[in-house]
Amino acid sequence: PMLRDDDNIELFRRYREQNGNADVPQDHPILGEWARRTRDEYIRMDLSDERIGRLEAAGFDWQLSFEDRLRQLRLYSEGDDGNGDVNPPRNHAVLGEWARSVRQSYRNGQLPTEHAASLVAMGFVWSQHDAPPPPRTTAWE
């Protein structure tokens, strides 16, 4: 039987305390599938800010690859929030901090060239100074 999310988070918290890490093996009888499914939901941005907060407070580690983040960026740009834009705002629950971190790595010369190229191909902006101006609106008088 499937447990409620709160029960799984509590089991995860106990697992982390007992094992000293958040690396739940995929073959764990209860938490393995739940952790995988939760990460998939996070990648698809199907988690509420509130649930993300509860998971992070419990020490959940997203363990996302760069490709997972690119997928999230594509989903963001295709969704209602992004409207074709691949530059999420800093306060975006899932991508804001990641985008800031990527820009910092780029400025410090620590972002792998292939990662930078993938982002450039999507239209990622490295600095707000390079961002296209917002669309003009016509004021009706």
pLDDT of residue 135: 47
Q: What token pair was written down for 59? A: 């020490």
pLDDT of residue 130: 61
> What is the 8-class DSSP label of residue 20?
S
pLDDT of residue 132: 52
Q: What residue spans of the chain are helical by DSSP H?
A: 5-19, 31-43, 49-57, 66-78, 96-107, 113-122
Nearest to 125 by CA among 85, 97, 92, 93: 85
pTM: 0.68
pLDDT of residue 102: 94
**Cα 83 to Cα 77: distance, rounded to the nearest angstrom:** 6
Chain-centroid distance of CA 111 in Å reads: 18
Q: Which residues of the chain have pLDDT under 70?
A: 1-2, 81-83, 128-141
Which residues 6+ apart lie within 8 Å of 119 measured at CB?
A: 70, 73, 86, 102
